[in-house]
Amino acid sequence: MSWESVYRLVKRIPRGKVTTYGELARKLALPGGARAVGYAMAATPTGRGIPWHRVMGAGGKVRMPEPYASLQRKLLASEGVGIESGSVDMDRFGWSPSKRGARAPARKKNNRGRK
């Protein structure tokens, strides 16, 4: 059950969005157990359809050793997630478990004639 739950949530993350270890931990009723979540992710077998790269640290910052960090940035950027100085804008790409689109993008693209 343990890590399976984590994987499940991670798999739920929609493309182009990211979440944090803390959020996952909280959703799993493990406040402060973000480390456990991170540990689980570290053991996450690649090639299982688990978008581990969509899991960021607090504040949307990259929390992992190379070369994973670089790979993550690359994958995220490939999904349209803008990264600034190694950090992701959680206000726009932050995704909350079970709270689908809680932080929906502000959609501030071209005004299409009106603001």
Contact residues toward DNA (CB under 7 A) are: 2-3, 20-22, 25, 30-39, 41-42, 44, 52, 55, 57-58, 63-65, 68
Compare residues 1 and 106 and give the one whose CB is closer to DNA: 1
C-alpha–C-alpha distance, residues 55 and 67, integer Å: 15
Question: Closest distance between DNA and the C-beta of residue 53, in Å?
Answer: 7
Question: Closest distance between DNA and the C-beta of residue 68, in Å?
Answer: 5
Other Cβ atoms within 10 Å of 70 Cβ, number:
11
Phi-psi region of 102 (alpha: psi -120 to 50; beta: other; left: phi over 0): alpha
